[in-house]
Amino acid sequence: MEKNHVVLIKCADQKGLIAAITGVLFRNNHNILLMKEFVEPETNTFFARFELSGELNTETLHTQLEDALPAGTRISINPKRKKDIVILVTKEHHCLSDLLIRYYFNELHANIKAVIGNHDILEAFTEKFGIPFHFLSHEHIERNDFETKLSSLIDQYAPDYVVLAKFMRILSPSFVAQYEERIINIHHSFLPAFIGANPYRKAYERGVKLIGATAHIVNNDLDEGPIITQKIIPVDHEYDVKGMIEAGHEIEKSVLADALKLVLEDRVFVVRNKTIIFN
């Protein structure tokens, strides 16, 4: 049976929540394909994710769940559909090309509506895949104005998510606030090690034996948002900085693709500065 809807529930924990939710689903004759739940102990918050097959009336189910659950419960009933994304890039291609290839072969679970670059290096490549590319230089322009133009470009596509695929500009808190929990970034280190610029140079200087990459949701603080996925690969003394950068590209694109898949399939909850991931 096919997954047709994902139902997400978040509320203060109390006894009987699963019974209440599954009671509503059973009385409506809905079939649960998969269910995951978790109670976050520090905030005592209940999180649950249900995959349902078959048809359903979203509004009716929403009302019934609302009636059955405590006031203040956040309920989200997401029909299976491809989400819309806009990708921001600078010069490096590897995360972008990975996403474009997945999109082209119908494996991304998302529509790439546009790519925006603060350099134009990746324009011709992007357009091979029939995706509009917008070049918006950050030079000779105030940061505020740059971000206003950037928002304006993004907003014309009304994307569900904005993906920073090695976009090497720092975004201001006010920009980020416009897309709360909707900006996904790839950082080229295993955070919190090597926050900020030139992490591979720092990794080389420190002589680490593992290098990593981290995909996270962007919030106000640079490289400090809730982490979705991380991966590492071993390195040794034969790696120079360039070798680390090349090796790192392999996991950066992989980590971003994994994180995006989780986000696009409605598997990621944020609580405080962490993620709960139902995969």
Query: Which active-site residues does the annotation give?
Result: 223
Strand partners for 76: 8
Q: Closest approach of Cβ 90 to its own copies, in Å?
A: 14
Tell me whether the omega of the peptide bond preceding residue 192 falls within 30 degrees of 0, making it cis: yes
Binding flag, residue 248, its own copies (CB under 8 A): no
Binding flag, residue 191, its own copies (CB under 8 A): yes
Binding flag, residue 239, its own copies (CB under 8 A): no
Binding flag, residue 19, its own copies (CB under 8 A): yes
Both tokens assigned to 67: 């009636």
Q: What Cα–Cα distance (Å) separates residue 125 from each residue in 94, 128, 274?
A: 12, 5, 35
Residue type for position 83:
K
Minimum CB distance to its own copies smaller for 118 or for 275 = 275
Q: Contact with its own copies (CB under 8 A): which of 11, 75, 222, 277?
A: 277
CA nearest 259: which of 218, 205, 222, 202? Answer: 218
Q: Contact with its own copies (CB under 8 A): which of 210, 220, 221, 242?
A: 210
Binding flag, residue 123, its own copies (CB under 8 A): no
Minimum CB distance to its own copies smaller for 161 or for 239 = 239
Site size for its own copies (CB under 8 A): 64
Binding flag, residue 72, its own copies (CB under 8 A): no
Distance CA 69, CA 63 (A): 10
Distance CA 53, CA 254 (A): 30
Binding flag, residue 181, its own copies (CB under 8 A): no
Binding flag, residue 199, its own copies (CB under 8 A): no
**Cα-Cα end-to-end distance for the chain:** 18
Strand partners for 163: 87, 184
Binding flag, residue 250, its own copies (CB under 8 A): yes
Site for its own copies in 36-55 (CB under 8 A): 36-41
Binding flag, residue 194, its own copies (CB under 8 A): yes
User: Stretches 63-71, 141-149, 155-163, 222-230: which one binds its own copies (CB under 8 A)?
Assistant: 222-230
Exposed e or buried b for every residue in 175-195, given b needs 16+ CB within 10 A?
A: bbeebebbbbbbbbbbbeebe
Residues with Cβ within 8 Å of residue 145, at least 6 apart in sequence: none
Q: Name the site residues for its own copies (rule: CB under 8 A).
A: 15-16, 18-20, 22-23, 25-26, 29-41, 93-94, 97-98, 101, 104-105, 107, 125, 128, 190-194, 206-210, 212, 226-232, 236-238, 240, 246, 250, 254, 257, 272-277
